[in-house]
Structure 1
Amino acid sequence: MIETFRRDGYVRIDGAFSSELAASARAILWRDLPESADDPASWTRPVVRLGMYSDPPFLAAADGPLLRAAFDRLAGAGRWQPCTAMGTFPIRFPSPDDPGDTGWHVDPGFGWDAPDFMDWRANVASRGRRLLMLFLFSDVGADDAPTRLRVGSHRDMARLLAPAGDGGLTLREMAAAGFGGSDGRPEALATGPAGTVYLCHPFLVHAAQPHRGRRPRFMAQPPLLPAPGDGPPSPVEIAIRDALA
């Protein structure tokens, strides 16, 4: 797992949480949606965003033994904080329309007080973020708007961010620099049954895509936040050093 993570920038954890937990979480989300689960005619928007969720099914999904062990191995034992919320949900519905949010990007780790999200920042130390995580709360096939991943792009981003030092770069600056020239990287799709989790390097370049399947896609993308304290270099940090060597 560590070698795959260092090389590709992500690993897939199968069965990270149960299908029963996923179904309970979806029921909560459907409760808060104006769309109806049983009426596809009501699915008129390509994407709907719901707010932060900290209900028990969501927290339990992020606290299983497989995930805790993987967090320790990839981010460093004692160097991450347990998830207290699953983050926002971009729920994607089958639609011929452009959802308008399918650009390539990385998720910034600080500077969130800036009113324009394009001014949010990341630096080479990955301040504010230990991992990017993709939690699949529904079955996701190739047509179900799986997140696109640029395999190995975390290396390109490390080299882009290094000269900027502690202040890092804004999302706007990273985009203007072509995310380190990562557009030539091969692409992978974050597919899998409900209960699958992708643990990604915080520098991994990724993107949404339109939904061409039949059933709505439920996926959360919370960060794994850092905990205070130091420790031996983690695979997250070693992957950055590898890229800069």
Structure 2
Amino acid sequence: MGNLLNSQQLQSFIADGFVRIDNAFSAELSSKIRTILWNDLPGESNDPTTWKQAVMRLGFYNHSPFIEAANTDVLHNAFDQLVGKGKWIPCMSMGTFPVRFPSIDDPGDTGLHVDASFPGTNPDDYFNWRININSKGRALLMLFLFSDVTELDAPTKILKGSHMDVARLLKPEGDEGLTFMELAMKLQTLSGTHEVLATGKAGTVYLCHPFLAHSAQQHHGTEPKFMAQPPLLLRSDFNIEGSGPFCPVEEAIRTALGF
């Protein structure tokens, strides 16, 4: 089987909380997907004067190009290595797209956060969705780049190693965990964490530990940024305190907790 992550990449995922995969899907697929998205945007791709907002969110997409991009052999192999064979559900939708445009306006969504993975008392209120120490429901956070993203093009800010801090914040909260907002407030106490920018060519995918703290930022470039961050969903729960073997997602949590 080709296209496997090497041991250094796996260890980096455990320690840093993410691994970058270049050419995870083709430039041709990226182009097809951008064309579909532009059809649903009010502006024109070749006329910056029609780009009126800092960020526009488009709905869920399950067209074949999106599904194909999320299910390449290289990605499936990585899912098996990071999460475990048979433990994840193939991604059949890209979720929402926050399309970011060059703008001097604050997009209003640049707060540091961890993506929640299971509903709270009100499933319609995402701010009350929850995260627990077993990452109930979510195997990975994934950042799919559908356009070239440089340091100027609003790359996602990743806090390297923050998944370890988040694991320690979640452990005392048990199965109930914390809400999206409760954890976001606690993230403000993190200090000394190295920031990495999720840049790359269209076709790049960042596979991230589900506890990795990250944030959006303002767009200072010249071309719109197209990215999606769908979850990889869990088919069976992670095993944090049982007997091994453990996958890298589990190993990272266990390392953070001192097992």
Shorter chain as normaliser: what TM range? over 0.9
Comparing 109-118 with 156-165, greater Cα deviation is found at 109-118
Select which of 160, 166, 180 maps to 2:175: 166
Deviation string 1:4-25 (CA, Å, 9 cap, x unpaired) is: 1001000000000000000000
What's the offset of the Cα at 1:184? 2.3
Asked if 1:188 is matched to 2:196, the reply is: yes
Identity %: 57
**Could you say what secondary structure the match of 1:167 adopts?**
coil
- Give the letter for the 2:257 counterpart: L
Inter-CA distance 229–128: structure 2 relative to 1 (3 Å threshold): closer
Residue 121 of structure 1: aligned partner: 130
Q: CA deviation at 1:44?
A: 1.1
2:247 is the counterpart of 1:234? yes
Greater shift in the superposed pair: 232-241 or 107-116: 107-116
* TM-superposition CA deviations, 1:61-94 (whole Å, max 9, x none): 0111110100000011110000110110000000
Could you list the structure 1 runs, at least 4 aligned residues long, displaced by more than 6 angstroms after superposition: none
Q: Distance in 1 between matches of 2:10 and 2:40?
A: 38
Task: Check the 8 A contact 2:79/2:88 in 1, yes or no.
Answer: yes
Structure 1 residue 115: deviation in Å?
3.8
Q: 1:133 matched to which residue of 2?
A: 142
Greater alpha carbon shift after TM alignment, 24-33 vs 228-237 = 228-237
Gaps of 5+ in 1: none
Is the 1:150–1:182 Cα contact (8 Å) retained in structure 2?
A: no
SS of residue matched to 2:78: helix
Gapped runs of 5+ residues in structure 2? 1-8, 240-244
Letter in 2 for 1:166: D
Q: 1:52 aligns with which of 54, 60, 70?
A: 60
1:69 is paired with a residue whose SS is: helix
Partner of 1:7: 15
Deviation per residue, 1:134-174 (Å, 9 max, x gap): 00000000000000000000000000000000000112221
Give the count of matched residue pairs. Answer: 244
2:116 to 108, 112, 117: 108
- Return the letter of the residue paired with 2:90: P
Aligned twin of 1:21: 29
Deviation at 1:111, TM superposition (A): 1.4
What's the CA shift string for 1:107-140, capped at 9, x where partnerless?
0011164443221110000001000000000000
Corresponding letter in the other structure for 2:157 = R
Q: Does 1:154 align with 2:167?
A: no
Q: Distance in 2 between matches of 1:44 and 1:55?
A: 27
1:67 aligned onto 2:75: yes
The Cα shift of 1:178 comes to: 2.6
Distance (whole Å) between structure 1 residues aligned to residue 86 and residue 78 of structure 2: 12
Match of 1:225 among 229, 233, 239: 233
Instruction: Give the structure-2-normalised TM-score.
Output: 0.91
Cα contact 1:45–1:95 (8 A) shared by 2:
yes
Q: 1:91 to 1:183 in 2, by over 3 A?
A: farther
**TM-score normalized with structure 1 length:** 0.96
Aligned-partner Cα distance in 1 for 2:124–2:194: 33
The answer to whether the aligner puts 1:144 opposite 2:153 as a matched pair is yes
Q: Give the whole-Å Cα distance in 1 for the aligned partners of 2:129 and 2:227.
A: 23
SS at the partner of 2:222?
coil
Backbone CA RMSD of aligned residues = 1.3
What is the DSSP-based 3-state SS (H/G/I as helix, E as strand, rest coil) of the residue aligned with 2:206?
Answer: strand
